[in-house]
Amino acid sequence: MTEPHITDLERDIIKEILNIGLARAADSFAAIAKDKVLLKVPDIQLIEVKELLKLVAQYESTHFIIQSDIKGDFNGATLMLFSSDHVTRLSQLCLNMVEVQKGEVNAMQESLLLEISNIITGAMVTQLANILKANIYGSPPKAPKSHIADSLKDILVQHPLFQPLVFTVITKFTHNSRSVELPLLLFFDTGTFLKILEIIRTFDLEKDRPI
């Protein structure tokens, strides 16, 4: 499939829209993490399905993954990627756990990771819906028990034109002068990407561009 064309300005506008949503998510996340939180979107890229699955498989071997699907007018998903160190750190900060068993996630820890994913995904989806005037919503986050690649393949099979538009989002929070970066992947199928571009191209860029 021919790769949709996106200008640098359109790329910047999409990143700016997401950054507004992420800024609001950061405030809610900070209340849970009891820490300074900064979320930003450093990169946007179109990648092949096989490359996405390969990337996810690499993370799956080292990270605890939370998935949330985006439905309605748009089709996509978010994946929040928590390493063992991330889980330990968040458990200590948010749950006041003193001794954390690395490599294992109990029910309380899983609930925390689900809530963090829900806050961040919810803020982004709400912002996209408001600015792009789209009827979209995020499904409740889940921790897939089977291989995450298999879960994503179900989406790919249902949407054969799926060539993900991938946003890599870095959640950086600081505690005792030490920064920790928490990766998140946000992706949409090609149909959604084209819808977003179509909406953006109707903007009066000097008047409507989000501030």
What is the number of domains present in the chain?
A: 1
Sign of the alpha-carbon dihedral angle for 139, 152, 38, 96: positive
The per-residue pLDDT string of the chain (211 residues; one tens digit each, 9 = 90 and over) reads 445 677 888 888 888 887 887 777 777 777 776 667 767 665 666 666 777 777 777 888 788 889 998 899 988 888 888 888 888 888 877 787 877 777 778 889 899 899 888 888 888 888 889 888 999 998 899 988 767 767 766 555 555 554 556 666 666 666 555 566 777 788 787 778 888 888 988 876 555 554 4
Q: Which amino acid is at 95?
A: L
* Structural domain includes residue 211: no
Give me the CATH number covering residue 56. Answer: 3.40.1550.10
* Structural domain includes residue 1: no
pTM for the structure as a whole:
0.80
Owning domain of residue 183: 8-201
Measure the N-to-C terminal CA separation of the chain; round to a whole number of Å. Answer: 34
Task: Return phi, psi of residue 97, to 5°.
Answer: -80, 130
Residue 107's region, left for phi above 0, alpha for psi from -120 to 50, else beta, is alpha
* Structural domain includes residue 178: yes
177: number of Cβ within 10 Å: 5
* Structural domain includes residue 3: no
